[in-house]
Structure 1
Amino acid sequence: MLIDLHCHSSVSDGTQPPADVVRRAHAAGVGVLALTDHDTVAGHTEAARALPPGMTLVRGMELSCRLPDHGVHLLAYLFDPEEPRLAAERERIREDRAHRARAMVRRLGELGAPVTWEQVERITGDSVPGRPHIARALVEAGAVATVEDAFTSEWIGAGGRAYVDRYALDPVRAVRLVREAGGVPVLAHPRAWRRGYGVSDEAIAGLAEAGLAGVEADHPDHAPADREALRALASELNLFVTGASDDHGELTGHRLGCETTTLEAYEALREIATGAPPDVR
């Protein structure tokens, strides 16, 4: 049984609806899937209804956080979605995402890129607009050849000409909020250097002191040496290690199940969680 604890649907910046993500995961041999859309729980009900017999859904979320000089992502699993403090932060982040997206579209227009807000809205659909939606609009408009080309200093990469910063949680506070909601916090892709999400050993140790439970070591953006270093650090800090595809549908080549979590790590996660149980069909 494959256990994939990190993926996205069209509720955030993936390209497939939650039900389709579940069906694709099942077809790929995934028995336990965590749906972890950015800063939202909106896709969980649809995903749970689509579960085939014998499959488990772990309700999760990828929280937007920030260290002083770059972004950090925190995976939160099996938390109480009604816990007021975490719910309020989730809503604040989502609202700021929309304001930020509009500001980036304005900047792109000033730079001569033929991207409109109506175009971004159409691509976004019912989800909250983010940089991947804007990147797809740039491709559609012919300003760049690929989505990856949009995430550069020329366009909407961190610090780029059309980049706009946004509200994000301090990761220590985020870890504590997830714990207070009965959830399990796991640091997402902390060695994804090319994406700007590298997190130092010292910062990870500080998060462990605050209540971090695990670290995502096996990720498509992690080199073998970084995976081994993260395993050693996790052992030192008494954290469990997870692995996941971080699938975004078409944007990442439909890679559900390409990286996985061990049954032992999943059971450790389940044991800690008090906010909500997994959905089992």
Structure 2
Amino acid sequence: MRRYDLHTHSVHSDGTTRPAQIAADAAEAGLAGFALTDHDTIDGWDEAREAAHLARIDFLPGIEITTKHDHRSRHLLAFGIEPAAGELFDALAEVRRSRVARAREMVRRLGADFRITWDEVVGSEDARTVGRPHIADALVAAGYFTDRTAALTQALHPASPYYLGSSAIDTTEAIRMVRAAGGVPVLAHPAAYRQRTPVGSDELREFAAAGLWGIELQHPENRDDWLPELERAAAELGLTATGASDYHGAGKPNRLGERSSSAETWDGIRALAAVPG
């Protein structure tokens, strides 16, 4: 059976691996293809596409959009969007500007107790979407924490005095903009353990009415006890269940291809996407 990983991150956001290496690793892992879904940017598409061609596997251009609904963080995967879509990319540019301002302020707050600098946080010139993972990596490099997860759950936890909330696009509005840009919207990790509550059935119904196509039910961070209700709601609403690893290289323990989608799901997305590969 052909397997596809629909959720990966590179150095262009908060991953630690270049797009070309993800393509090579995907081929080695026996995947038939992968999607690159960096946060709020499509900068890695060209490199990933070329490397996938060389590795003789399929590539699907994607993005993970930072969104919120009723003050709750919700992330949206969008596949095959048209890069010339002005409305969506104007909104994404504003999100990136806000993320940088937020990160700078968090680094300033951390400076009272941790000796890290903004230059140490920014690090890679490739990353345009600076966020908590980049700050966490700087804290690890400075010797304050053992790994990224420890820094995120301690100094950078939402209850921490160093934490600052982020701005985001409204989820239903993001779904609408993705559809207008010729893309295929899929709700990311709706039952992730780091969320205080899973996405509710009423919330999912609202997203489906806005044009949501799928929901990432197979994800290594989804809580098993939260999934049955979501599975029932997704089936009732006709949403396609997808699977993916949410691979971040060394940034997360998630392994490339540990969750995957079928050829039928992959082909369904490509048939609808403005940019299928």
Shorter-normalised TM range: over 0.9
**Conserved 8 A contact 2:246-2:254:** no
SS in 1 for 2:63: strand
1:119-198 to structure 2, matched below 5 A, reads 119-122=120-123, 124-128=124-128, 129-152=130-153, 154-195=154-195, 198=198
Letter in 2 for 1:133: H
Moved beyond 4 Å, runs of 4+:
none
Tell me the CA shift for residue 231 of structure 1. Answer: 2.5
Cα deviation, 1:183-221, whole Å, max 9, x if unaligned, reads: 000000000032557322211111001000000000001
Cα deviation, 1:115-148, whole Å, max 9, x if unaligned, reads: 11121122x4321221101001111222222211
1:113-124 to structure 2, matched below 5 A, reads 113-122=114-123, 124=124
Separation in 2, partners of 1:254, 1:206: 30
Cα deviation, 1:155-180, whole Å, max 9, x if unaligned, reads: 21224211112220000000000000
Separation in 2, partners of 1:249, 1:195: 22
1:57-76 to structure 2, matched below 5 A, reads 57-76=59-78
Separation in 2, partners of 1:229, 1:264: 24
SS in 2 for 1:79: coil
Partner of 2:233: 233
Q: 1:60 to 1:196 in 2, by over 3 A?
A: farther
Q: 1:228 to 1:266 in 2, by over 3 A?
A: farther
Verify: 1:41 aligned to 2:42, yes or no. yes
Cα deviation, 1:25-52, whole Å, max 9, x if unaligned, reads: 1111111200000000000001111113
Partner of 1:18: 19
Separation in 2, partners of 1:144, 1:252: 15
Letter in 1 for 2:187: L
Separation in 1, partners of 2:82, 2:196: 30
**Conserved 8 A contact 1:189-1:197:** no
Letter in 2 for 1:26: A
Q: 1:127 to 1:244 in 2, by over 3 A?
A: same
Separation in 2, partners of 1:215, 1:167: 23
Two-structure CA RMSD over aligned residues (Å): 1.6
**Conserved 8 A contact 1:187-1:214:** yes
| Greater displacement, 20-29 / 46-55 | 46-55
Separation in 2, partners of 1:267, 1:143: 45
TM-score normalised by L of structure 2: 0.94
TM-score normalised by L of structure 1: 0.92
Letter in 2 for 1:268: G
Verify: 1:32 aligned to 2:33, yes or no. yes
**Conserved 8 A contact 1:64-1:169:** yes
Letter in 2 for 1:63: I
Gaps of 5+ in 2: none
**Conserved 8 A contact 1:8-1:246:** yes
**Conserved 8 A contact 1:151-1:158:** no
**Conserved 8 A contact 1:4-1:34:** yes
Separation in 1, partners of 2:209, 2:72: 21
**Conserved 8 A contact 1:73-1:197:** no
Q: 1:106 to 1:73 in 2, by over 3 A?
A: same
Separation in 2, partners of 1:224, 1:261: 18
Separation in 2, partners of 1:262, 1:253: 23
Letter in 2 for 1:58: L
Partner of 1:260: 260
